[in-house]
């Protein structure tokens, strides 16, 4: 796995969070662009509510590189949704993929996502974390905007507006938004949810590890069979490129 360059901490995070707290999401993006310029990137999964962050960022920084990790196992609806939003918002989309194809991955290791926690984590490192780290390295990112929100999962409840992950300053402009805030923004701007939202999918990743929300599940349990919530992209690196 390519090693990321450690970006120098260009901001006092405590002071930054204090300054960012009263600002709108768009102004938080503007703050990040003012400080990091061309070394600022945005990441997206083209998930259930991704149109919010994409629209905000495209409005504030039209040419911002938008990193999308294509594992090769996404829903057909996700690929079509990505095409729709990329054209509509004129996104500067940067697609990154794993070093090996889905067929080659399965020939070597089988269906890792069916092999318990260890298998899921290995799959995520190969299919998601490695291409993300490669993207951040090749784009020389020193700061990274992500559309995480505290209400999405227990693992995100304590996330700050601005933090640090693997030497890169990470900004969460809509971290304090509620589901109602998201709905109001989408409605006001005529933007869509992911097509699978209407089928009960509240968190949408790979087709083999995403399930619709039913009465016996919590939103967090709709991913990775309830074994874990995060795919590793938004977690500090623990080292190791695969298995």
Active site residues: 231
Q: What is each CA distance from 57 to 10, 53, 164, 196, in whole angstroms?
A: 21, 6, 20, 23
C-alpha to C-alpha distance for 147 and 173, rounded to whole angstroms: 7
Specify the DSSP element, H or E, that contains 65: strand 65-69
Q: What is each CA distance from 178 to 149, 183, 209, in whole angstroms?
A: 8, 9, 25
Q: End-to-end alpha-carbon separation of the chain, Å?
A: 12
SS3 of residue 218 by DSSP: coil
Q: What is each CA distance from 101 to 118, 205, 208, in whole angstroms?
A: 20, 17, 16
Strand order in the sheet with 65-69: 92-96, 65-69, 40-44, 143-145, 168-171, 162-165
SS3 of residue 145 by DSSP: strand
Find the length of the chain: 243
């Amino acid at each position: 796995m390519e090693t990321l360059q450690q970006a120098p901490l260009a901001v006092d995070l405590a002071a930054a969070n204090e300054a960012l707290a009263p600002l709108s999401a768009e102004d938080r993006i503007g703050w990040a662009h003012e400080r990091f310029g061309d070394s600022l990137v945005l990441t997206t999964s083209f998930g259930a509510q991704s149109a919010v962050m994409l629209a905000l960022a495209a409005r504030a920084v039209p040419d911002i590189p938008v990193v999308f990790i294509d594992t090769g196992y996404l829903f057909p609806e996700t690929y079509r949704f990505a095409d729709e939003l990329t054209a509509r918002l004129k996104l500067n989309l940067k697609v990154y993929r794993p070093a090996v194809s889905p067929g080659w991955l399965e020939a070597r290791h089988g269906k890792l996502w069916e092999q318990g926690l260890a298998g899921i984590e290995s799959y995520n490192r190969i299919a998601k974390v490695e291409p993300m780290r490669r993207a951040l390295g090749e784009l020389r990112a020193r700061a990274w905007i992500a559309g995480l929100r505290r209400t999405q999962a227990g693992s995100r409840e304590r996330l700050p507006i601005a933090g640090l992950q693997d030497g890169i300053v990470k900004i969460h402009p809509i971290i304090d938004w509620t589901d109602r805030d998201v709905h109001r923004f989408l409605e006001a701007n005529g933007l869509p949810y992911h097509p699978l939202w209407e089928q009960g999918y509240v968190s949408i990743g790979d087709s083999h590890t995403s399930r619709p929300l039913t009465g016996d599940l919590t939103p967090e349990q709709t991913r990775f069979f309830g074994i874990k919530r995060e795919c590793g992209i938004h977690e500090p690196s623990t080292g190791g490129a695969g298995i």
